[in-house]
A and B are shown apart, each in its own frame.
Chain A
Amino acid sequence: DQQVKQNSPSLSVQEGRISILNCDYTNSMFDYFLWYKKYPAEGPTFLISISSIKDKNEDGRFTVFLNKSAKHLSLHIVPSQPGDSAVYFCAASANDYKLSFGAGTTVTVRA
């Protein structure tokens, strides 16, 4: 049973424009959410996180928004750059040691 869902397997965006990645979850016990970026044949790298007491967290070009009532979070990348082309994973935890991951969204930034 997939508790974290990324329904868009891919996203193509022009360089300089905004990339918006979406993530939905079903477990109401999740209270900490993370985004990871992954290049082919490499391990994921941590990008940004948000706890359930916040609805927004910003770090440079990356902003994560959390809508707890809708069980939805999104990652905004502004402006998108060619180096942002990668697979992005949404993950969530329920204040324990385990993270549940979505299936990932492949972002392609076009020049």
Chain B
Amino acid sequence: DGGITQSPKYLFRKEGQNVTLSCEQNLNHDAMYWYRQDPGQGLRLIYYSQIVNDFQKGDIAEGYSVSREKKESFPLTVTSAQKNPTAFYLCASSHPGQGAFGNTIYFGEGSWLTVV
């Protein structure tokens, strides 16, 4: 089945540690995204990538890093510089040009990150 797979579903991080969240898609989508959701808030864009080997900062990129070495993969590293990393992280992808207008993005199941 086509889709977006995020792993792990739950992750615990100690203070000062870097952790990496995996995101893989087999939808042949060009663009991939990372969003963060905090309780009672909307989704905020961390990073996005329109094409392999290229990515741009979103609204809240500080303390995060990404890579896009393959079309299917867009891992997110939460570094120790991220002061408040506990959140629900969502990976998404899209194929620009799908449909007559606009850009519909599709989400994975999400990963919970908790700092302990």
> Are the C-beta atoms of B107 and A43 separated by less than 8 Å?
yes
Interface residue from B42, B48, B94 paired with A89 (Cβ < 8 Å): B42
Other CB < 8 Å A-B pairs besides A4-B42, A46-B104, 9 of them? A41-B112, A42-B110, A43-B90, A43-B109, A49-B102, A52-B101, A97-B94, A103-B40, A103-B42
Give CA–CA (A16, B110) in the complex, Å: 31
- A residues within 8 A CB of B40? 9, 103
Q: Which of A90-111 contact B (CB under 8 A)?
A: 91, 93, 95-104
- Size category of the binding interface on chain A: 20 to 34
- A residues within 8 A CB of B78? none
Q: Does B27 contact A (CB under 8 A)?
A: no
Q: Using A9-B40, A43-B108, A103-B42 as known contacts, say yes or no to A53 and B101 having CB atoms under 8 A apart.
A: yes
Interface residue from A4, A42, A97, A102 paired with B103 (Cβ < 8 Å): A97
- A residues within 8 A CB of B96? 97
- B residues within 8 A CB of A41? 88, 110, 112
Interface residue from A31, A36, A44, A97 paired with B50 (Cβ < 8 Å): A97
Give CA–CA (A91, B33) in the complex, Å: 15
- Size category of the binding interface on chain B: 20 to 34
Chain B contact residues, CB within 8 Å of chain A: 4, 6, 31, 33, 35, 40-45, 48, 50, 58, 88, 90, 92, 94, 96, 99-110, 112
Chain A contact residues, CB within 8 Å of chain B: 2, 4, 6, 9, 31-32, 34, 36, 41-46, 49, 51-53, 89, 91, 93, 95-104
- Interchain residue pairs with CB less than 8 A apart (30): A4-B42, A31-B101, A31-B102, A32-B102, A41-B110, A42-B110, A43-B92, A43-B107, A43-B110, A44-B43, A44-B90, A46-B105, A46-B106, A49-B99, A49-B102, A49-B104, A51-B101, A93-B102, A97-B31, A97-B33, A97-B96, A98-B48, A99-B43, A99-B105, A100-B45, A101-B35, A101-B42, A103-B40, A103-B41, A104-B41
- B residues within 8 A CB of A95? 102
- A residues within 8 A CB of B104? 34, 46, 49
